[in-house]
Amino acid sequence: MPPVPRPLPVRVLPLLPLLLCVLLAACGAPAVRDRAEGDVREAVAAWSLTPPAQLAGIPLEGWAYEVTAVRRDGDRATARAALRYRLTGYDAAPADSAREVLLSRDGADGGRWHVTGDRPAPGALPQLWDQGPVEVVRGAHALVLGVGRPARDLSDIAAEAERAVPAASAAWPGTWAGRVVVLVPGSLERMAELLGRPAAEYRGMGAVTTGRAGAAKAPADRVVVNPEGWAELSAAGRGIVLTHEVTHVATRAATTARTPLWLSEGFADWAAYRGGAVTAQQAAPALGRAVRGGQLPATLPGDAEFAFGGDPQALARAYEGAWLACRLIAAKWGDATLVRLYERAGREPLATALADTIGGDPPGLTLAWQASLRQELGAP
């Protein structure tokens, strides 16, 4: 039998060191990457212990950046993070913001990472302090935060907010914090940046409210002032606008996707005008012109009629009609009935809520509302 060939060790052994090197490198690389990423995370954690200087004076608690991802490019790195914080005494739960933290390192200090910048993550809304140093005015009921506005403007807005909060509480006896945060950016364009919408949608408006409907455990809403629209308002108009927006804050937990916008917006206006001497003719000029021109609305304002960016006269008629509907309910069935209707309309169909509060239905309410429009707006 011919001899069986035997493998030659000399041809195999040189491959073993190479194979071991590959295996060791493959096992060691993640450890190196993990250490580098851990250094970046530690640098962000150390940097975030102290809020930025432009937030000095703001009552903050729970300020923390939670790093969710790290991207490195040589001696530069970007950490994607979730910023969480509360405004002490105002936020019921942590507010959050998606951020990008920029870092770099050099050999002068042993290759340590240093934070060089912080900005909103792509697609995330900026925070007010991204627009500059924040000025703070604090009152018993309101916290006003402004950027790029004269101190007197902020003090005037704070004074209006101090009056608006008790007015909203008087109209809405339901549970709410009884405090409000007002943001005052430097311009209409800066306001639009904070809200992530085109500036044209807010032109001519005095203020808007942010927040999620029915979010009882969410951070407190923010009232955002349009400084250009605010400047065009009379003293009385400023009080009405701010009380309207604060009422949205007060009723937020009871407001859901079920709540008709005519009820939500009308209730806020009812709270703002409540107790005043304003007449329907004075507060509903656009709707008055329509009624006297033979254009009596066929139905209560639909949700689509409250969209911004369209015909301003149509939008005005929707708001005025909503206010007069809530005013009618309060006058005919009582303030408490209007409040109960609001609470129930957020939990059940409107027809059910109306039947259980005023003993009527949507067609019946519409007819009563139309009759009141003819009576109050039909004559010049």
For 1-28, b/e burial (b = at least 16 CB within 10 A) is eeeeeeeeeeeeeeeeeeeeeeeeeeee
Nearest in space to 157 (alpha carbons), one of 102, 227, 213, 106: 227
CA 197, CA 191: separation in Å to the nearest integer? Answer: 9
Can you read off the two tokens belonging to residue 74?
Answer: 């040589």
State residue 212's pLDDT score. 59
Quote the pLDDT of residue 266: 98
Phi, psi of 184 (to 5 degrees): -125, 95
The pLDDT of residue 26 is 44
Structure-block tokens of residue 348: 């059940």
Question: Could you read off the pLDDT tens digit of each residue along the chain, which spans 380 residues?
Answer: 444 343 434 333 343 343 333 333 444 444 444 677 899 999 999 999 988 888 888 999 999 999 999 999 989 999 999 999 999 989 888 889 999 999 999 777 668 899 999 999 999 999 999 999 999 999 999 999 999 999 999 999 999 999 999 999 999 998 899 999 999 999 999 999 999 999 998 988 999 998 755 444 556 689 999 999 999 999 999 999 999 999 999 999 999 999 999 999 999 999 999 988 899 999 999 999 999 999 999 999 999 999 877 788 999 999 999 999 999 999 999 999 999 999 999 999 999 999 999 999 999 999 999 999 999 998 76
Q: What pLDDT shows up at residue 219?
A: 64
- The three-class DSSP label of residue 311 is coil
What is the pLDDT at residue 21? 38
- 54 is written with which tokens? 């432009």
Kindly state the tokens that stand for 151: 């101190």
| Element holding 136 (H helix, E strand) | strand 135-138
Distance CA 362, CA 28 (A): 71
pLDDT number for residue 204:
86
Question: What was the pLDDT predicted at 25?
Answer: 41
What is each CA distance from 74 to 36, 68, 104, 109, in whole angstroms?
11, 20, 9, 16
User: Residue with structure tokens 């009576």?
Assistant: 375
Q: Are 91 and 220 a contacting pair, CB within 8 Å?
A: yes
The pLDDT value given to residue 242:
97
Gap between the Cα atoms of 312 and 268, Å rounded: 19
Predicted local confidence at residue 307, as pLDDT: 85
Q: What is the pLDDT of residue 57?
A: 87
Q: What are phi and psi of 70, to 5 degrees?
A: -130, 130
Residue 326 CA neighbour count, 13 Å, CB half: 29
Contact 213, 255 (CB under 8 A): yes
Question: Which residue type does 95 have?
Answer: A
pLDDT at residue 5, as a whole number: 41
Calculate ∠ Cα 326-254-313, nearest 5°.
40
**What pLDDT is attached to residue 277?**
86
Do 328 and 371 form a contact (C-beta atoms < 8 A)? no
Q: Which two tokens stand for residue 145?
A: 């935060």
Q: What would the two tokens of residue 115 be?
A: 């934070």
User: How high is the pLDDT of residue 166?
Assistant: 97
How many helices (H) and strands (E) the chain has is answered by 13, 9
Tell me how far the alpha carbon of residue 366 is from its chain's centroid.
33
Instruction: Give me the residue label for tokens 């194979």.
Output: 19
Supply the pLDDT for residue 218: 56
**Residue 100: phi, psi to the nearest 5?**
-120, 125
- Which tokens sit at 342? 């609001």
State which amino acid sits at residue 302: G
Domain 33-124 is found in CATH 3.10.450: yes
The answer to whether 176 and 250 have CB atoms below 8 angstroms apart is yes
Residue labelled with tokens 């939008």: 315
95-105 vs 76-87, strand pairing mode:
antiparallel
Report the pLDDT value the prediction gives residue 11, as an integer from 0 to 100.
38
Q: Where are the domains of the chain?
A: 33-124, 125-255, 258-380
Q: Choose among 130, 223, 122, 123: nearest CA to 181.
A: 223
- 76 has which bridge partners? 73, 104
Q: What is the pTM of this model?
A: 0.86
> In the CATH scheme, what is the code of domain 125-255?
3.30.2010.30
